[in-house]
A and B are shown apart, each in its own frame.
Chain A
Amino acid sequence: MLKDLKFLSKMYEIPSIDIILMDLNISGVSSDIDADRVRFNLRLLNGELLLCSAIKKRF
Chain B
Amino acid sequence: MENYYCALQLRRDSDYRISEDKLYFKNEHIGWVNNFEIDFCDSYYMRRNNTVLNINPKTRLNCEGCKFCYTSHQKSRSIIDLTIPKNLDNFFYDWMNLYGKNDLSGLYQIAVVSGCFPNENSLVKFLLDLNDKVEKMNFHGEIFYLGSQIQTEESLKKLSEIPYFAYSLSIECFENRDKLLRKSKSGFTLEQIKRIMQLSILYGHRTNFTYIVGLDGIKALEEGLKNFEKYINSFPIFNILQEHEYQKGLRNYTANNIQYYLQARKTIEKIFAHSSLKPTMWEVCRTLWYTSYNGEKL
Measured CB to CB, the residues of A under 8 A from B are 8, 12-15, 17-33, 35-46, 51, 54-56, 58-59
Interface residues of B in 226-265 (CB under 8 A from A): 240-246, 257-259, 261-263, 265
Contact yes or no, B240 A25, CB < 8 A: yes
Contact yes or no, B8 A29, CB < 8 A: yes
Residues of A within 8 A of B118 (CB): none
The count of chain B contact residues (Cβ–Cβ below 8 Å) is: 61
- Proximity bits, B40-72, A CB within 8 Å = 1, else 0: 000000000000000000000000000000100
Contact partner of A54 (CB less than 8 A), chosen from B12, B29, B257, B263, is B29
CA distance A5 to B18 in the complex (A): 21
Contact yes or no, A17 B291, CB < 8 A: yes
> Is B158 interfacial (CB 8 A cutoff)?
no
Contact yes or no, B10 A33, CB < 8 A: yes
Residues of A within 8 A of B101 (CB): none
Max chain B CB contacts within 10 Å: which of A13, A30, A42? A42
Contact partner of B7 (CB less than 8 A), chosen from A12, A37, A56, A59, is A37
Contact partner of A20 (CB less than 8 A), chosen from B30, B266, B292, is B30
Residues of A within 8 A of B98 (CB): none
Number of A-B contacts (CB under 8 A): 182
If over half of B's interface residues share one DSSP class (helix, strand or loop), that class is named, otherwise mixed; here it is: mixed
Residues of B within 8 A of A14 (CB): 262, 265-266, 292
Do A44 and B10 contact each other (CB < 8 Å), given the known contacts A17-B291, A22-B261?
no
Sorted from nearest, which 5 A-B pairs have the closest CB atoms? A28-B11, A37-B39, A54-B28, A28-B9, A40-B36
Contact yes or no, B30 A55, CB < 8 A: yes
Contact yes or no, B16 A27, CB < 8 A: yes
> Is B157 interfacial (CB 8 A cutoff)?
no
Contact partner of B35 (CB less than 8 A), chosen from A21, A36, A41, is A41
CA distance A27 to B245 in the complex (A): 11
Tell me how far the C-beta of A52 lies from the nearest C-beta in chain B, rounded to whole angstroms: 10
Contact yes or no, A38 B36, CB < 8 A: yes
Residues of A within 8 A of B18 (CB): 29-31, 38, 40
Residues of B within 8 A of A36 (CB): 9-10, 39, 70, 73-74, 244-246
